[in-house]
Amino acid sequence: MALQIDSDNLKELLAGEKPVVLDFWATWCAPCRMISPIIEELAQQFEGQVVIGKVDVEENEDLAVEYGVRNVPTILFIKNGEVVDKQVGAASKSAFEEKIKALL
C-alpha cells in the first residue's frame, strides 16, 4: 500500500537508501482517481525495493511548492534525495513501471 506522505515522514524517507516515488494528487482530480489503483498496485509490486507515497496537495501545499508541482497528478521519481524523473498527468501502468525500474 502506498504511504500517506507529509513533510515529517518525507524527510525520513529521503534519508533512507531506497528510491522514492511521490504521487502528488487531490481529491477533486479525476485523473488522480484514475491512476490511484495503478499506484497502489505498483506499491505492492515493488515493495521492499522502492518507497511509493501519495501527497495530498491540499493538505501538504508546502511540499507541492517545494517540488514545483503545479498540476496534478504529478509523480516524482527520487533517487539519492534528488528528483531524477517526473510524470505530469496520467500514464499507463507500464510507463510507470519503466520509470520505477530505471530507479533500481
pLDDT confidence of residue 1: 86
Average pLDDT on 5-11 reads 92
Residue 39 in grid coordinates: 499506484
Q: Is 77 inside a domain boundary? A: yes
* Residue 29 annotated in active site: yes
Q: Which one from 3, 13, 14, 29 is the annotated catalytic residue?
A: 29
Q: Which domain holds residue 11?
A: 3-99
Which of 75, 98, 96 has the alpha carbon at shortest distance from 87? 75
Q: Is 104 inside a domain boundary? A: no
Q: In this predicted model, what pLDDT tens digit does every residue of 65-92 receive, in sequence order?
A: 999 999 999 999 999 999 999 999 999 9
- pTM, rounded to two decimals: 0.95
Q: In this predicted model, what pLDDT tens digit does every residue of 15-62 receive, in sequence order?
A: 999 999 999 999 999 999 999 999 999 999 999 999 999 999 999 999
Q: Residue 46 maps to which CATH number? A: 3.40.30.10
| C-alpha span between 71 and 69 (Å, rounded) | 6
The side-by-side arrangement of strands in the sheet containing 3-4 is 3-4, 51-56, 20-25, 74-79, 82-88
* Residue 20 annotated in active site: no
